[in-house]
Chain A
Amino acid sequence: MTALDVVFALFASTAAAGALLAVTSRHVVHAALWLVLALGSLAGVYLVLAAEVVALVQVLVYVGAVVVLVLFALMLTRAPIGVRADLDAAPGRRRVAAVAGLATSALIGGTLLAAIGSTAEVPAGDGTASALGSATFTGWVLPFELLSVLLLAALVAAIAISRGRDADTPGLDDLAPGGTADRADPGAGSAAPAPAAAPAPATPAAPSRAVGPDGTS
């Protein structure tokens, strides 16, 4: 067991603990902060595995942007300080989440089980920016170009959420809480749990619409 192994174990267990606390915390903003801890420790894991660029990108994008978006969304809707009792999702959504979580765990766990016994060196030089650049722009052309389409879809969805469907339809900020119940898009049927959450009068508008009219977000 080398010093790197110890550091790796430290980061990994911090990430796991942070993730657990994020889903069990009854305080939305604290949950977001635990998420920061989990994602930040994951960056540490990447760093130990000699993927410097990926580690810093993890910090830049996930810690610096995604959770900031989450915090903004929280402040837009439910900024009050204190514990909220109504944080649990509807049973249907919880079941879907549990299935998705178990499936992911099985996938990753299976990969790990298959890897037991085989030893591999952490290859030096694979994590540098130019190695990544060479790989992205030669072997991974299609995913890279598809990503730009995904980003386009994300922005279109963000506009759809924030502006309403037409320029003259009032945006979310003009709607009263619960006002989205009758505006719920039939196209959101693909994401089954969304209508279940929408009618609750205490739920502000954004979470129910966050699934997006075209299911892209």
Chain B
Amino acid sequence: MSPYVPILVLAAIAAAFAVFSIGAGALAGPKRYNRAKLDAYECGIEPTPQAAGGGRFPIKYYLVAMLFIVFDIESVFLIPFAVAFDRLGLFALIEMVLFIATVFVAYAYVWRRGGLEWD
């Protein structure tokens, strides 16, 4: 049996539980219509007409996601390196240090340009 089958079984149990909960919640709870209840919750003041359209968000989030991708790719390459390390030899270690150093240069650049500051 594939080792992935048990994962699917657990996922199926969890999915059944989640769908059942949502269905049960919708059935068991009371339903009392109230226009104010269906408004977006903003502590009692009139809701902003268009949630996020008007005010856009700090571009910093974009930078965080970009940094995340870069470091994610780096760690993805570190994983086979780490697992195979004992069979690889000195040359691979030097290669990996070069790789990390290059990405570190980019990281230092982002740091210098204030890309890691949140204000």
Residues of A within 8 A of B (CB): 47, 53, 57, 60-61, 64-66, 68-69, 72-73, 75-81, 129-134, 136-138, 141, 144-145, 147-149, 151-152, 154-156, 158-159, 161-163, 167, 171-173, 204, 206
Contact = CB atoms under 8 A, between A and B. Distances in A.
Given A133-B83, A137-B92, A204 B56 contact: yes
Q: Is the interface of B mostly helix, strand, loop or mixed?
A: helix
Contact of B69 (A61, A79, A141, A171): A61
Nearest to A76: B57
Given A69-B66, A151-B103, A80 B53 contact: yes
A180 to B, nearest CB: 13
B98 A129 contact: no
Interface in B23-68: 50-53, 56-68
Contact of B76 (A60, A152, A173): A60
Given A129-B80, A151-B103, A156-B106, A69 B69 contact: yes
Contacts of A130: 80, 83-84, 87
Contact of A148 (B61, B82, B88, B98): B98
Given A79-B52, A155-B66, A173 B95 contact: no
Q: Is the interface of A mostly helix, strand, loop or mixed?
A: helix
B4 interface: yes
A77 B56 contact: yes
B9 to A, nearest CB: 16
Contacts, number: 152
Given A76-B59, A204-B56, A129 B83 contact: yes
23 contacts: A61-B69, A65-B68, A65-B72, A72-B61, A72-B62, A73-B62, A77-B56, A129-B84, A130-B87, A133-B80, A133-B82, A136-B80, A137-B92, A137-B95, A144-B99, A148-B98, A151-B102, A151-B106, A152-B103, A152-B106, A158-B63, A161-B62, A163-B115
A76 B61 contact: yes
A163 B114 contact: yes
User: How big is the B interface, by class?
Assistant: 35 or more
Nearest to B91: A137
A100 B115 CA distance: 34
B13 interface: no
A130 B38 CA distance: 54
B98 A145 contact: yes
Contacts of B68: 65, 68-69
A130 B88 CA distance: 9
Given A64-B72, A78-B53, A172 B81 contact: no
A152 B64 CA distance: 15
A80 B52 CA distance: 6
Q: Which 3 A-B pairs have the closest CB atoms?
A: A133-B84, A133-B80, A79-B52
